[in-house]
Structure 1
Amino acid sequence: MRLNWLRGLDLWVVVATVAGIGTLLAALAMTSDGLGDWGAGVLVNIGASVLLIVPVYILTKRLDKRIERVGSETRSSVQALADRVETFEQDVERRIEDVAASVAAQLEQERHEDKAAFTALGSAPSRDSVLEALRRANELGLISQRRGPRVCVSDAWRIFVRIDFNEAPDRYFDEEEVSFTLETFDGNMLAVVLWPEDQDVEAVMVKLGRSLLRETSGEQLDVRGLFEGMSRALSIAQTDPERRPIWQVCPPQWVVTEHGIHTYGGAPYYGAATRALEGNARLATHIAEKTWVDPDSLDDAVAVALALSKP
């Protein structure tokens, strides 16, 4: 029969207690029977020691085991928590990598779309394609509201066509989002041709061509050259922040921007601010002395930058 009443107690504590009491009773019997005080004293010491030391020792061991079990459970809990934290960190890292990859892919796609829009400007111009290209160029900072890029349409008379983009909500009622300005080398306006929504590219180019005829001795407007030049300017501005906002391309080596001049294409990376060119006449000469410089392209760029910077 199981000793259910011992449940929850350490059996060894009970055994030690019984043994200690038994020893004390034996000592008492020896004393009462006259078997000797010395033997009784020894049994008393043994019994007392058993009653005092053994239970304390056993209880101490039980306490140590309890502490060890609690420590083991704590270590397990800490390890489980560490595993959860590590799993969470890995999950966060994976999500960040996924977001980074998605952002990179989207930016790459938009870059290709920008390039396609600028190419369409030169190959298949329409009001929608021109407006889309200018809108993208404006968002990227390739052009400025102050003045858009321009293309030479008459070498003999040094006349240019500038394309301007204005999508400001507070523009005047008679202003259009896209307009063409016929201007002189130094930026003096000769004529402005707006591009309303209800007119196609042919109608607008006819107006611009008539304006060019009035300012020259019968020169014809090169429509293809105009739009290809605009497309080329935006494509060059897209390649580097120092080439934007772009004002004019001076092939084969230099561009003029709102801030100065800068190389493009296969030329070494080099630029000069308009303020520096204005304040130091020797700077252009110093640049021209470099062996890789195309002198005609440089002279044209410096002259345009200085001319357009005048108020």
Structure 2
Amino acid sequence: MSIATVIGVGTLLAGFALTSDGIGDWTSGVLVNIGASVILVVPIYLLTKRLDERIERVGSETQSSVRALADRVETFEQGVERRIDEVASSVASRLAQESRADAEAFDALGSAPSRDAVLRALERANELGLISQRRGPRVCVSGDRQLFVQISFNENPDYFRGEEEISFTVEGYDGTALEVVPWSDKDDVEAVLVRLGRVLQRKTAEPHLDVKALFEGLTAALMVAQSDPDRRPIWQLCPPQWAVTEHGIITYGNAPNYGVSIKALARDSHLAGHLADKTWVESDSLEEAVSVALSLDRKRELEPPF
């Protein structure tokens, strides 16, 4: 028991004693009130003080915990930030490396074509959405730009039906297929190109197949498709300015970025004329692109869906 409580009890007892001895009521009442007040107030004061000390101690502990938690969070955030930076750097590096590898694979078609090189390039182009399996890119193989070779890729060929992963389709200006030359894994590049050259000799007055132009044209088409998502899937290049895609025509090279959908060209016959009035437009390239886009689109509409 605290000293204050003892004093309070003593004062209270003294007050009672004075009352019992008949000594002044006022003095007795004062002593009783003082004693009772000390007995009541002091414990409350002590309790309050202990609560304040407890609260202060808890607050101090809480602040320490908060600081410790803040330090841990900061450390975690710094670790996460470093990890994110590392991951972002790694992802960017890998994507850049893949992009360079793709460009090298496409470029190899024009310098050292082989079935494996062509297959790797077409597989990657298909994976990136640069080409469509329904209609692959085509390259002009005649001086009058009326005969083309479409290079097709089939990721799931049916060998029992004579399908191959790679095939060359000789076709007319409007996309009509004249003859298909499949490229089996048993044929090297010379063997399949000799067969393709014989087909062209039957279909055109060209003395021979321009092998270099064929593979360089395929390389250029894939490179243009890789340069911008709006230029894919690529159908044909109409040098030096316009490319034909599955969706419409779009510029490439040094021309301003400009595209027109096939639906818009088909809906408005004057649209191409208005476009040709632009000072930067190469008219022959535009005219061919519009004609090819509309012709191939009509051919697509006539083909069965499967």
Q: Which residue of 2 aligns with 1:297?
A: 285
Percent identical pairs in the alignment equals: 64
Q: Which residue of 2 aligns with 1:6?
A: none
Distance 1:17 1:273, change over 3 A: closer
User: Does 2:51 correspond to 1:63?
Assistant: yes
Cα deviation for residue 173 of structure 1 reads: 3.8
Structure 1 contact 27–39 (Cα < 8 Å) conserved: no
Poorly superposed stretches of 4+, deviation over 6 Å: 24-32
Q: Which residue of 1 aligns with 2:232?
A: 244
- Determine which of 98, 104, 108 is the counterpart of 2:86: 98
Alignment of 1:1-311 (within 5 A): 13-20=1-8, 37=24, 41=28, 47-156=35-144, 158-168=146-156, 172-217=160-205, 219-311=207-299
Range that drifts further, 170-179 or 282-291: 170-179
Cα deviation for residue 104 of structure 1 reads: 2.0
1:135 maps to amino acid: E
Mark the runs of 5 or more structure 1 residues left unpaired by the alignment: 1-12
Q: Distance between the aligned counterparts of 2:16 and 2:141, measured in 1?
A: 133
Deviations along 1:138-197, one digit per CA (max 9) or x if unpaired, are: 111111112111111111472111111011255654111001111221222222211111
Distance 1:282 1:54, change over 3 A: closer
Range that drifts further, 267-276 or 20-29: 20-29
Mark the runs of 5 or more structure 2 residues left unpaired by the alignment: 300-306
SS at match of 2:298: coil
Structure 1 contact 157–216 (Cα < 8 Å) conserved: no
Structure 1 contact 28–40 (Cα < 8 Å) conserved: no
Structure 2 contact 142–206 (Cα < 8 Å) conserved: no
What TM-score do the two structures reach when normalised by structure 2? Answer: 0.85
Deviations along 1:229-254, one digit per CA (max 9) or x if unpaired, are: 10001001111122111111111111
Q: Distance between the aligned counterparts of 2:99 and 2:111, measured in 1?
A: 18
Range that drifts further, 56-65 or 291-300: 56-65
SS at match of 1:281: coil
Distance 1:38 1:129, change over 3 A: same
Q: Distance between the aligned counterparts of 2:221 and 2:5, measured in 1?
A: 103
What TM-score do the two structures reach when normalised by structure 1? Answer: 0.84
SS at match of 1:183: strand
2:151 maps to amino acid: I
Cα deviation for residue 307 of structure 1 reads: 2.1
Q: Distance between the aligned counterparts of 2:158 and 2:36, measured in 1?
A: 105
Cα deviation for residue 46 of structure 1 reads: 5.1
SS at match of 1:197: coil
Aligned residues: 298
Deviations along 1:248-302, one digit per CA (max 9) or x if unpaired, are: 1111111111222111111111122222222322111111111111111111112
